[in-house]
A = this chain, B = another copy of it.
Amino acid sequence: MESAVVNTAETKDRKARRKPESLSKIKSAARKLFVERGYDSTRPQDIAREAGLGHGTFYLHYPDKRACFLAFVEEARQEMDVHLRDARRPGQALEQVITATLNAIYDYCDSHPGVLRAAMTDAAVIDAGGGPDTPLMARWGEEWSQIIREAAAGGTACSSYDAAIIGQAIAGALHQAAKEGARGQQCRRALADNLTRFLVRALRPD
């Protein structure tokens, strides 16, 4: 009797969850392969196979390869967002915001190796005619713009900059330094330390 109830419950659960189950398999398989091989070298078929599913199942969840990649990027962006929000405390001075942010970024990179690299694949690689959304870099540039605007308003950052420009510049600086720092096996501490000082000086109020 009880088992019947349990069974029913299980059944309902399964019914409700079955789709999401295969979706999440596809999702993580896609993430794994996009990270390991990149967008171009990952076929929908590979993703499905990696997930232990048939080819067609992929198209049950995404209309095409591009949509799957975009979903992966969005997921990474949101994870990163949460990570950053957790790292920042309201009322922090600019220097602390910068330190906290850089540390959060490098933490994320350490714990999710390759994910950001993959997620930042140039839009040109993905699009086949369609218009893309704002790339990850540009979004982060805008977030920095916002930080600068607020700091400038609060008097903790130089207010004579065009925040839109400098925000993008900062995003670019962090990205490229990390990218080539990774190449040169520069240790993460040096990276965080140098960039923090660099930005703090550059943004310090007059």
B-binding residues in A (CB < 8 A): 38-41, 121-122, 124-125, 128-129, 137-138, 141, 158, 160-162, 164-166, 168-177, 179-181, 183-184, 186, 190-191, 194-195, 197-199, 201-202, 204
Q: Considering the complex, give the chain B residue whose CB is closest to the CB of A180.
A: B168
Describe A's contact surface by its main secondary structure: helix
When all copies of this chain in the complex are counted, the total is: 4
Contacts of A191 in B (CB 8 A): 165
Known: A125-B125, A161-B197. A177 touches B169 (CB 8 A): yes
Contacts of A177 in B (CB 8 A): 165-166, 168-169, 172
**Whole-angstrom CA separation of A201 from B205 in the bound complex:** 10
Known: A38-B124, A173-B173, A174-B172. A198 touches B194 (CB 8 A): no
